[in-house]
Amino acid sequence: MNIQSRSPEPIIELARVEKVYRGGGRGVGFPALSGVDLRIGAGELVAITGPSGSGKTTIINLIAGIDRPTAGTVTVAGRRLDQMTEDQLAAWRGRTIGIVFQFFQLLPTLTAVENAALPLDLARLGPARERKAAASRQLAAVGLADRGDRLPVELSGGEQQRVAIARAMACAPPVLLGDEPTGNLDTALARDMFNLFKTLNGGGTTVVYVTHDQGLAALASRVISVRDGLIVGDTADRIGARR
């Protein structure tokens, strides 16, 4: 299926992408994606949904440059990821991609503001005082202005996920990815997280998130359905057909 975005110049494009994970003593491969074409325009808010093992997380990992395609091309923000070295990918990812995971992945010995400042610290972006101030502003943006000195263990699950979002947005990347970002949250907190995504999207950030929750997926402006390594549905197609 050839999937087109609503923008003529996509910020994310996968072309004829295949991904086979190698494993097992006999070298048997598991095909996670089987020829995926996907275009996502700058500023879109997109949910990717499908059953476990369908390939949706693999799509997120390819967009982030965490995985490399077995075949096909992956282009994000004008760069061909499949042609970049690991060092180039790491530097590019720090400037271009923010990632929010299901299991928060906060460092337990660092405070909320120190966790939020990690991408800035790793990239050595400005003096330490300015990095901390920028991280504090991101925490304030997610409603945690008064929790910056707390360790993760002192925060609720919802607060920890907000810190993870602040960390993902520390370098103001143009693309925010979420891999089941609300999987450990109850329904009310999941809606809160979505509202944060929607606010960031309203500011121009392209947001793409994976979810099992059909209700949460339906809140996005575009829903892509994945099954057996193929894109089997895209609400952008229906929108285009009505025009």
Please report, for the chain, the start and end positions of each structural domain, with discontinuous segments joined by +: 42-60+85-223+233-242
- Cα(124)–Cα(222) distance, integer angstroms: 36
pLDDT band at 25 (very low <50, low <70, confident <90, very high): low
Instruction: Of 79, 80, 92, 142, give the one whose Cα is nearest residue 112.
Output: 142
CATH fold of 42-60+85-223+233-242, please?
A: Rossmann fold (3.40.50)
| Alpha-helix residue ranges (DSSP H) falling in 110-213 | 112-123, 128-141, 157-168, 187-202
**pLDDT at site 243:** 41
pLDDT in tens, 182-228: 777 788 888 888 888 999 999 999 999 999 888 889 999 999 999 99
Angle made by CA atoms 87, 89, 91, in degrees to the nearest 5: 70
